[in-house]
Structure formats: structure tokens, C-alpha cells
Amino acid sequence: MPGVLALANRTRIKTSHRQRRKAASAHLVYILNNPLSGVDPTGYAACSLDDEASCLLQDGGVNTIVNKAGDTIATTVVADKGQNLTVTGNGGSISATFTGRTGDISRVLAGGPPSDIGAISQRTNGTLDGTAASYALGQDKSPGSTFDFMAADQQAQSKADFEAYRAHTFANEGLEPFAIHPLEAVFQTAQGTYNEIDQTGDLSMESAGTLAVSAMAAMLHVPMAGGRSVTKKAPHGNKIDSRPATLYEKYDKDGNFLKHGITRHENPSKRYTAKQINGGTVVRTDRGPRSEIVKKERDLVERDPGQDNREPWAGNRREE
């Protein structure tokens, strides 16, 4: 294969490096956009979004799925039970008897570091068996093992890990996690595919197609089955809703009552800093949904305000 990159270099086409790489990728996805490696081990096929699902099964091996722009958006691996696959890319290669497990092979394809066969073997307790349908999620940063459908316990753990990772990531960005429905759909489809293989020893075209399509939908954040895939901004801190909140009382160094207050701590073990406490005392008196805690705070401030409660309604019902 005369690499398009090499051709572009020779003819000195005046396009940006990125444009040339993008143009080249449309033609070179089947050898993982790495024409210089010169390795085309199994004649991987590229299926486009417009192709029939059967495209995934025509050639077997690693099928790269591309969109109309030629960008790789997903990879489906179709192979017979026990078939040896060699995947080359990202500066390394791995060979494995294909087990139907996602993760290691997928990660290499998705641009992650090369893995080794030992890692795959270890995850199956040394037993490499099973058949044959897998996929990768391209540049999706979720752990490959999230979609590991070979072992139920690992499955559950992976899902939990992924949820935690996802929640953590979005929390750090001050965002609310979007609904997981599209990814959940992929997971459930994968589970169904495995069950089919387990029971029949074979994989139908429909299943492979559904799996690939749902994986692509997840990649593209296309809503499926009523799921949302829109990233929402976090609500304003003062918004009254069902988020957890803590009611507290604040006292100064000498024990004089200063105020009733309310704070939101998503993580209840989060500490008030020494500066916030300022040598005095903070007493957490109640905890619950913000909508309820706000009402309690209002009632307390109206009836028994501290000197730092400067709300307009402070002390309105002092005589009650």
C-alpha cells in the first residue's frame, strides 16, 4: 500500500498537517492510521455508517467503523472461537486468542498503551475461551472493562468504577453527569450478545449489527430509547431543590452565638477549614434536602437570629 501520507509529502500538497492526516485517515483506518508500520496483518475491513450490519461479519477480524468524514468512531471485532488475532498500532502489537472480551485489544485500537497477552490471560484466570464479538469505543475515555461481559462480578465492579470515575470527573468540572442511557444500552446489548453466543455457540448478524450500532450511538451521544445525552450545567448554589444541605450554628471564640446558617456539602465528611471556623465553633444541627433545610433555617432566623444573621426577615417573629 503506497501510503497516502507519503504521497502527500512527496507532492508537497499545501494543506495543514492536520488536514493531511485527516485525509489520510479516511483511507488508512484499516491499518490503524499507521501506514509507516507497514503491517496489515489480517486485512481489516472498514465499515461505514451507511453499510449494512453484515459488513461487520464479511471479513471477520477487526472492523473499523468510520463516519462520512472518514473518522474512526468505533471498532468491532468479529472472530471465531479460539481464533488468533494480531493487532498492531500505537507503537506496539498484541496477539491473542480472541475471547470476546473487550478492553485490552480495544484499548490499543483506541489509542491507549499497548497491552500484553498476559494481561488478557490474567483477566480470564489463564483460560482464554469464549467466542467472539467485541467492540471498542474509539476515543471514549471510559475504562474498556466497563463493557466486559464475560464475568458478572467484574462487570458490576467495572460499572461501579466507571460511575464513580464519571461522577468524580463531572463533579470536578462543576457539571452534573448526563444520563448514562446510551452507554447503558451498549452494555445491555453486549450482555445479550454474549448470552446468545453462550447458548448457540454462534453470533447472528443482527446481534453484531445491533451491538455495533448501539456502540456508535453511545460514541456519538445520540439519544437512544428516550435517554438523554446532554451535558447539563450544575444548578446555582442557592437554588432550592433536593440536593443535600446542612443546617449549622456558628459560635465565636468565647461561645457567643453568631448565626444560623445553611451550607451544601455534597460530601458530608468535608471539613470546615480552620479559617472558616476561626477559632470558634460550628455545630451541625440538621441535615436533609435543601428545600426542607431552607425552611428550617428561615424559621430559626425569624425566631432566634444571631448577630450575624442579617437577613431582612431576621427577628420578625422574635416575640413568638
- Which residues lie near another protein (CB under 8 A)? 246, 249, 253-255, 268-269, 271-275, 277-287
Nearest CB to another protein, comparing residues 2 and 268: 268
Q: How far is the CB of 286 from another protein (least distance, A)?
A: 6
Of residues 90, 136, 145, 88, the one with CA closest to residue 113: 90
Q: 235 CB contacts (<8 Å, ≥6 apart)? A: 176, 241, 243
Instruction: Tell me the three state secondary structure of residue 140.
Output: coil
Residue 175's identity, in one-letter code, is: L
Residue 187 has φ and ψ, to the nearest 5°, of: -60, -45
Least distance between another protein and beta carbon 272 (Å): 5
Q: What is the DSSP letter of 186?
A: H
Least distance from another protein to the Cβ atom of residue 210, Å: 47
Q: Smallest gap, in angstroms, from Cβ of residue 160 to another protein?
A: 22
**Nearer Cβ to another protein (178/272):** 272
In the complex, least distance from residue 268 CB atom to another protein, rounded to whole angstroms: 6
Of 226 and 268, which CB lies nearer to another protein in the complex structure? Answer: 268
Residue whose CB is less far from another protein, 230 or 274: 274
Collect all residues with Cβ–Cβ distance below 8 Å to 37 and sequence separation of at least 6: 31, 88, 89
45: nearest Cα among 70, 26, 65, 74: 65
Judge whether 95 and 117 are in contact, CB under 8 Å: yes
Nearer to another protein by Cβ, of 117 and 283: the residue is 283
